[in-house]
Amino acid sequence: LKCNKLIPLAYKTCPAGKNLCYKMYMVATP
């Protein structure tokens, strides 16, 4: 599963790494 930058809950459901998804979300969200 890839991190969805459009969904804030993506970082919670990302098994690859919460930090990675969180960063992706933060970048997508100014």
Contact 9, 26 (CB under 8 A): no
In order along its 30 residues, the chain shows pLDDT tens digits of 455 555 555 455 555 555 666 666 566 555
pLDDT of residue 1: 44
pLDDT of residue 23: 66
Residue matched to tokens 């930090």: 19
- Cα distances (Å, whole numbers) of residue 22 to 10, 13, 19, 30: 8, 11, 5, 13
Phi/psi region, residue 17 (left: phi>0; alpha: psi -120 to 50; beta: rest), is left
pLDDT of residue 27: 60
pLDDT of residue 4: 53
pLDDT of residue 15: 56
